[in-house]
Structure 1
Amino acid sequence: MKLALVVPGGVDRSGEFRVIPVLLTLIERLARTHEVHVFALHQEAAPGCWELAGATVHNIGDGWTRLRAIAAIRAEHHCAPFDLIQAFFSGYCSLVAVAAAHLLRRPSLVHIAGGELVALHDIEYGGRRTWSSRLREAAVLRAADTVTAASAPIIDSLHALGLEAQRVPLGVDLRAWPPLAPRRRGKGEARLLHVASLNRVKDQSTLLHALAILQRAGVPFRMDIVGVDTLHGEMQRLVQRLGLANQVHFLEFKTQRELRPIMEAADLLVMSSLHEAGPMVLLEAAIAGVPTVGTAVGHLVEWAPSAALAVPPGDPAALAEAVRQVLKDEDLRLRLAWAAQCRATREDARHTERVFERMYRWLCLGSANAGAI
């Protein structure tokens, strides 16, 4: 099959920086047996084209991006027809994919991968904050032939909007990120880890206030925070005000290869997000034998309480108590780790590829039958 994938970005030429690892994994796996063309709306400001993970990346760039993206898909289709068009993330990606598919009379898929269905007005986040965006999403998602999402809470949100959808978790590539059995933690301070860009939706303020509660309770720990700082030092200043400078260490962005040993050294992953469709790092931690405590979003809702502990978003006291509970009970920590690893390995990258390929075949068969009629 010839596939068109529409993405906002995450497919940098380097293959390591400004990328979405799980997306690259899927592209690489699909490109083994299919001709894959990736249309990136805003990877770079200027238009360009390059090879990555066995696929051809068409960067659209700034200026009339949506119209030029549809035109680029049509131009490539005329060179050799696409079998289907799929968007990863809704919003403008799904608008481009569904419009192009309609024009070319090809099936379309949309995978919800972010905050397309939420409206967090306090932090100006989410795809449903304005009437125009709600109208666009409603029209586009209803026009798509198939809608998918990574976790049950997102599927529930789609059902609440009257939209049918299928759950397709974006799994970890076990070759690049091999399983490591959960380990008993050593004596001394607990090694905590947080992996996320520093931004409002990841809510590191709640995380740091939870750590301050642990510190006052006499819990010995070290917290490593990995991620790009988009808040211009705000969280570092909060660390100073809370008296956490000796416990909290900001490690900035790390590539997947750099992240792996940091993950392996951790005793517990701690997440504080206000919203997640996944998160992918939960799956990566599970494969590496590390359990997670976090807010009740995405996969954490699905996994709690047997494979993770989840607390309400924005509640530092509850987050601190859940972390303390896991750190004081090593048997509990290991049970969570083993259960999480079983779930993550069962729904790995190979599983993701197989589910999407079944959908592709079903949609293309339906399209061919419709054409015959």
Structure 2
Amino acid sequence: MKIALVVPGGVDRSGEYRVIPVFLSLIARLARVHEVHVFALRQEAQPGRWELVGATVHNIGDGWQRLRAIAAIRTEHRRAPFDLVHAIFSGHCSLVAIAAAMWLRLPSVVHIAGGELVALHDIGYGGRRTVWARSREAVVLRLADAVTAASAPIVDALHALGIKARRVPLGVDLRAWPPLAPRRRAGTAAHLVHVASLNRVKDQATLLRALAAVVESGIDVRMDIVGVDTLQGKIQQCAHDLGLDANVRFLGFKTQQELRSVVEAADLLVMSSRHEAGPLVLLEAAVAGVPTVGTAVGHIAEWSPTAALAVPVGDWAALATAMRRVLKDEDLRLRLAWQAQRRAMLEDADHTAAMFEALYLHLVCTRRKRRQAVA
């Protein structure tokens, strides 16, 4: 098959910086068997084209992105026809994919991978904050031949909106993240890790308040926070104000190779997000033998209480209680780690690619049968 993938970005020509690793894992696997063209709306400001993990990336760049992206898909289709158009993320990506697919009379897939279904007005986040956005999503998602999402909570949210959807988790590349058996804690201090960009959706203020409560209870903890700072030092100031200078290290951006060693050294991953479709880092930590405590979003809610512990969003006291519970009960921590690893390995990157390939084949064959019936 020849496949058009529409993404917002995450496919930088470096293959290491400004990338979304799970995108690259999926693209690489699809490209082993199929001809894959990735249409990135704005990886770079200027239009460009490059090869990456076996696929061809078409960067649309600034200015009339949606119209030029549709035109780019159409141009490549004229060179050699596509079989299917797939948007990863809804919003502008799905609008481009659906419009192009309808124009070219191709089947389409939309994968919900972010905040397309939420409206967090207080922080200006989510794809349902305006009437126009809600209307666009309602139309686009109903026009898609198939809609998928990474976790059960997102599938449930789609069903509540009357959208038929199926669960397709975006799994970990086990070659890049080879499994490491869960292990008992070493040393007196508990080593925690948090991996996310510093922003209001990830809600590191709640994370730090929970950590301060854990420290105040007498547990010796250290936390590494990995992620790009988009809040101009506000989270670092929050840590200082809470008296956590000796307990927290802000490590900034890490490549996947650098991140692996940080996660492996941890006893527990702690996430405080207000919304997640995944997160992927929970899966990566699970493969590395590290369990997760976090807010009830995405996979964390889906896996709790057997393979993770989930608490209400924004509840720092509940998060602190869950952290203390796991850190004081080594048998519980290891049970969570083993169950999480089992689930993550069953739904790895190979599993993701196989699920999408099966879906593509079904949609393409169904479309062809309809055309033959009409003819």
Instruction: Normalising by structure 1, report the TM-score.
Output: 1.00
Instruction: Name the residue aligned to 1:207.
Output: 207
Note the 1:177-326 alignment, pairs <5 A: 177-326=177-326
1:90-149 per-residue CA deviation (whole Å, 9 max, x = no partner) reads: 000000000000000000000000000000001110000000000000000000000000
SS in 2 for 1:214: helix
1:46-94 per-residue CA deviation (whole Å, 9 max, x = no partner) reads: 0000000100000000000000000000000000000000000000000
Question: 1:216: how far off?
Answer: 1.1
Structure 1 residue 158 corresponds to structure 2 residue 158:
yes
Question: 1:187: how far off?
Answer: 2.7
Question: 1:175: how far off?
Answer: 1.1
Instruction: Name the residue aligned to 2:109.
Output: 109
Gaps of 5+ in 1: none
1:191-239 per-residue CA deviation (whole Å, 9 max, x = no partner) reads: 0000000000000000000011111111100000000000010001111
SS in 1 for 2:250: strand
Instruction: Name the residue aligned to 2:33.
Output: 33
SS in 1 for 2:33: coil
Instruction: Name the residue aligned to 1:369.
Output: 369
| Number of matched pairs | 373
Distance of 1:298 and 1:36 partners within structure 2: 28
Distance of 2:319 and 2:23 partners within structure 1: 30
Q: CA RMSD in A?
A: 0.5
Question: 1:186: how far off?
Answer: 1.3
Distance of 1:241 and 1:263 partners within structure 2: 26
Distance of 1:214 and 1:165 partners within structure 2: 40
Instruction: Name the residue aligned to 1:167.
Output: 167
Distance of 2:54 and 2:140 partners within structure 1: 29
SS in 2 for 1:32: helix
Distance of 1:262 and 1:248 partners within structure 2: 14
Gaps of 5+ in 2: none
Note the 1:62-141 alignment, pairs <5 A: 62-141=62-141
Distance of 2:128 and 2:259 partners within structure 1: 33
Question: 1:176: how far off?
Answer: 1.2
1:300-332 per-residue CA deviation (whole Å, 9 max, x = no partner) reads: 111000000000010110000100000000000
SS in 2 for 1:134: helix
Question: 1:43: how far off?
Answer: 0.4
Distance of 1:266 and 1:216 partners within structure 2: 21
Instruction: Normalising by structure 2, report the TM-score.
Output: 0.99
Deviates more, 1:181-190 or 1:84-93: 181-190
The aligned amino acid for 1:129 is: R
The aligned amino acid for 1:219 is: I
SS in 2 for 1:175: coil
- Identity in percent: 72
The aligned amino acid for 2:316 is: P
Distance of 2:353 and 2:8 partners within structure 1: 20
Distance of 2:281 and 2:6 partners within structure 1: 23
Instruction: Name the residue aligned to 2:13.
Output: 13
1:333-353 per-residue CA deviation (whole Å, 9 max, x = no partner) reads: 000000000000000111101
Distance of 1:29 and 1:338 partners within structure 2: 27
Q: List 4+ stretches of structure 1 deviating above 6 A.
A: none
Distance of 2:192 and 2:75 partners within structure 1: 50
Distance of 1:302 and 1:315 partners within structure 2: 18
The aligned amino acid for 2:131 is: W
Distance of 1:238 and 1:304 partners within structure 2: 29
